[in-house]
Amino acid sequence: MFKSLAAAVAAFGVLTGSAVAETYPSRVITMIVPFSAGGPTDTVSRLVAEAMSKDLGQQIVIENVGGAGGTLGAGRVAKADPDGYTLLLHHIGMSTSATLYRKLPYDTLNAFDYVGLVTDVPMTIVARANFEPADMKALVEYAKANKDKVTYANAGIGAASHLCGMLFMSKIETPLTTVPYKGTGPAMTDLVGGQVDLMCDQTTNTTNQIKGGKIKAYATTTKERLAALPNVPTAAEGGLTDFEVGIWHGVYAPKGTSPEIIAKLSASLQKALKDPNVVKRFADLGTVPSSEADATPEALKAKLTSEIARWAPVIKAAGVYAD
Amino acid sequence: MEILQNLGLGLATAAEPVNLLFCFIGVLLGTLIGVLPGIGPTATIAMLLPITFGFEPATSLIMLSGIYYGAQYGGSTTAILINLPGESSSAVTAIDGYQMAKQGRAGPALATAALGSFFAGSVATVLIALFAPPLTEVALKFGPAEYFSLLMLGLVASVALAHGSVIKALGMIVIGLLLGLIGSDVNTGAQRFTMGFLELADGVNFVAVAVGVFGIAEILRNLEDESDREVMVKKVTGLFPSKEDFKAAWAPVVRGTALGSILGILPGGGAVLSSFAAYTVEKRISKTPERFGKGAIEGVAAPEAANNAGAQTSFIPMLTLGIPANPVMALMIGAMIIQGIQPGPNVAVEKPELFWGVIASMWIGNLMLVLLNLPLIGLWVRLLTVPYTVLFPAILAFCCIGVYSVNSNAFDLYAVAAFGLLGYVLVKLECEPAPLLLGFVLGPMLEENLRRAMTISRGDPTVFFTRPLSAGLLIVAVLVLVVVFLPSVRKKRDEVFQEE
């Protein structure tokens, strides 16, 4: 009796699949952010969620599920019902955790459906205000000559500042002394206080310190100079080629979400990224929303795949793992 | 006088009706969540953050700050009444505050906490207004080596927290240190003692430990034995401190304020140290240290003043540099970013009305808090008469909501249960939970800063002695050790610490 009832319910479910997509969303959507409230990723998520809520006609609620470099939150979404009511907004860590964690409770590439890219926050190579080298070229020379003395701060294993630092050291073929911190806040404190020499961090954290003269900027990790920091050259101008690093963010859904729902979410994300308030606030953060072509499932999938491939050898060469 | 102009601008901003209203809402909310065990300001501010998006930036920051320092007032309430600190800072208040409540002096304890906090809050506000930028410079002089030495001093001095056997106190500190080691190693990412749980990768949740070893353990103990409680209710004498109480409390309040103001400025855990430090100092200089741990009013006055002063001066690095000194300040920075303000060294120049408005609102908020809290004391004390059958399930429910709300993770609830059991075992063994909590909080910071200092000096340990600030702190730590273990003093100390 129970079995046949279950079968009937299942059949009904298949039949009404497209009908469900038509009425979607009919209740509140939860967007899981795998970092604590108030951080840069949380800020990005809330801005996008607010604009998407307006478009979808249903509230998107942010739930912060922090811990273990974002893998706890991602793991929760991987296990959630693929009904479009649980989403994930994660950043570059989605791709690096695939290598940093050798025992993840989910398969990064196959556990999710993709909604689209959100933004790519640029990074800056910065130093304490009274650090000697005048520009990028001088910095590389100085680092090579004083590799025992130069210290590089990062916000912990797997943080964007850690990845950027590993890339920097591999580009200049000089290992520096790495000083890890628990988060960007304390690392920036010690950089401003002159306790450590170098760091590479996202513009969200560095722009105002640079403008206020509290730290010194050597380069941005972008293709072109940033509007917010017109006097800071790009890494390529300073002689570092292929040094484009950004903290890219994407929206994911659990694997098996209906294509209609995904399409609806992608369209809504694209609209949200054109919302004037989102554009303005992103500009304040020193970043720009992803283009319509990037805010698509295909673009996000391609980005995630290529970034996993890009960082795996860097992480393996450095021999650092988060578990 | 530029400073007067600035303060005038700040007061004008803070006194706008809408800002006054939200300042009040903030401190009221703060008091309530402080009173509710388990729910702390971090979780509350995180939850309320989205609501503030629609406000003016100043209004939103004024309300959020109100929640934070309001919680420092409220946090002492449960610590005193039911031995359940919601924040690490009120863990110390619980030691003597709860004893006072047991003696029927919950009213004076609560009033002392409120008045002490008000005094500290007012002084700290003035300090922020006058000296924020130079104080920031001092704080920045604190590198890893200095932090290590400061934390060493803190740990060495913390033995004084114990009012039972010193060996047991040391044991508790060590267990706390070990618990603090659980999680990812910051330098290598290696997992330590996580037994394969990703949930433990960031360490054990502080709230889970505090709620478990203090609150749950206390509930278990009470279920066993109801006699204490009858005494507590029967003996309630007067709600306000007597003349003698004031006489005993004023100097500790002043000293606590000074200590808290200084330690609060240090980014990263300085505020945590302040209440522990204030308590230690009072016990050290007291002519009757044997009263500590048995309901000494100084043991409530000093740490309460210190934690409120520390809470407020911890705004200094955030306001002047955009650097968060603790998780709450990180949330404030998030709130500013969402409001379109880039926190950083330029906020005071670019947004003076915001900068000075928030500072001025702190004083107004502190005034509101003392006016709000004094009349409430009668009500809180009546809480003690609520039957256990109602009170305990309610406390448990609030604890669970509070713990769950931090990371939305059920694992933390199991942790509360486990630490509740551990706490109960500790009660049975007559071990104090406060040193354990201190070890738990300070241990990871101690290790991190030691390794960081050694990394920067490339393995040269003399760095702790060649940097003057660090050397000074270590010398004081050694002096404290000598005082504690000198044979002649030791005999006396054993008398002092021994419970009869």
Q: What is the ipTM of this complex?
A: 0.76
Q: Which pLDDT belongs to residue A14?
A: 47
Q: Which of B60, B326, B407 to mutate to test the interface with A (most CBs of A within 10 A)?
A: B407
Contacts A193 to B, Cβ<8 Å? 139-143
More confident residue, A301 or B86: A301
Judged by CB atoms closer than 8 Å, whether chains meet at A43 and B337 is answered as yes
* Token pair 């619980």 in the structure block, residue: B94
Is B452 within 8 Å of chain A by CB?
Answer: yes
Inform me whether the pLDDT recorded for B500 exceeds 50. Answer: no
Is B279 within 8 Å of chain A by CB?
Answer: no
Residue A94 vs residues A69, A248, A291, B367, B371: alpha-carbon distances, Å: 9, 10, 20, 47, 50
Is A209 within 8 Å of chain B by CB?
Answer: yes
* Token pair 């060996």 in the structure block, residue: B167
Considering only alpha carbons, which residue of chain A is nearest residue B193?
A323
Is A42 within 8 Å of chain B by CB?
Answer: yes
More confident residue, A267 or B166: A267
Is B459 within 8 Å of chain A by CB?
Answer: no
pLDDT in tens, B222-269: 787 765 555 555 556 667 788 888 888 899 999 999 988 888 877 655
Cβ atoms of B321 and A24 within 8 Å: the answer is no
Residues B86, B90, B92, B94, CA torsion sign: negative
In the structure, what pLDDT confidence band is assigned to residue A49 with cuts at 50, 70 and 90? very high
Judged by CB atoms closer than 8 Å, whether chains meet at A189 and B323 is answered as yes
Mean pLDDT of the residues in chain A? 87
Considering only alpha carbons, which residue of chain A is nearest residue B321?
A209
pLDDT in tens, A7-47: 554 444 444 455 667 788 889 999 999 887 767 788 889 88
Cβ atoms of B217 and B424 within 8 Å: the answer is yes
Rounded to an integer, the average pLDDT of B197-219 is: 81
pLDDT in tens, B126-185: 888 888 778 777 778 888 898 888 888 877 776 655 556 778 888 888 898 899 899 878
Rounded to an integer, the average pLDDT of B50-70 is: 86
Judged by CB atoms closer than 8 Å, whether chains meet at B141 and A193 is answered as yes
β-strands A112-128, B183-184 pairing = unpaired
| Tokens coding B117 | 């906090």
Considering only alpha carbons, which residue of chain A is nearest residue B331?
A38
Mean pLDDT of the residues in chain B? 82
Q: Element (H or E) spanning A280, and its range?
A: helix A276-284
Q: B-contacting residues of A 104-143, CB under 8 Å?
A: 105
Q: A-contacting residues of B 67-126, CB under 8 Å?
A: none
Is A72 within 8 Å of chain B by CB?
Answer: yes
Inform me whether the pLDDT recorded for B372 exceeds 80. Answer: yes
Is A239 within 8 Å of chain B by CB?
Answer: no
Rounded to whole angstroms, the Cα distance separating B490 from B468 reads: 30
Judged by CB atoms closer than 8 Å, whether chains meet at A157 and B184 is answered as yes
Q: Which pLDDT belongs to residue A117?
A: 95
Considering only alpha carbons, which residue of chain A is nearest residue B343?
A208
Contacts A38 to B, Cβ<8 Å? 45-46, 49, 330-335
Q: Which pLDDT belongs to residue B305?
A: 93
Q: What is the pTM of this model?
A: 0.79
Judged by CB atoms closer than 8 Å, whether chains meet at A192 and B140 is answered as yes
Cβ atoms of B342 and B322 within 8 Å: the answer is yes
Cβ atoms of B246 and B293 within 8 Å: the answer is no
In the structure, what pLDDT confidence band is assigned to residue A300 with cuts at 50, 70 and 90? very high
Q: Which pLDDT belongs to residue A216?
A: 94
Contacts A67 to B, Cβ<8 Å? 198-199, 201-202, 407, 409
pLDDT in tens, A116-131: 999 999 999 999 999 9
Q: Which pLDDT belongs to residue A13?
A: 46
Q: What is the DSSP string of A1-41?
A: -HHHHHHHHHHHHHHTHHHHHHH---SPEEEEESS-TTSHH
Q: Which pLDDT belongs to residue A43?
A: 83
Is B197 within 8 Å of chain A by CB?
Answer: no
| Tokens coding A299 | 């673009």
Judged by CB atoms closer than 8 Å, whether chains meet at A64 and B333 is answered as no
Q: Which of B68, B200, B207, B338 to mutate to test the interface with A (most CBs of A within 10 A)?
A: B338
Contacts A148 to B, Cβ<8 Å? 458
The distance from CA A109 to its chain's CA centroid, rounded to whole angstroms, is 16
Residue B287 vs residues A46, A273, B159, B294: alpha-carbon distances, Å: 56, 67, 18, 15
Contacts of B495 (CB under 8 A, 6+ apart): none
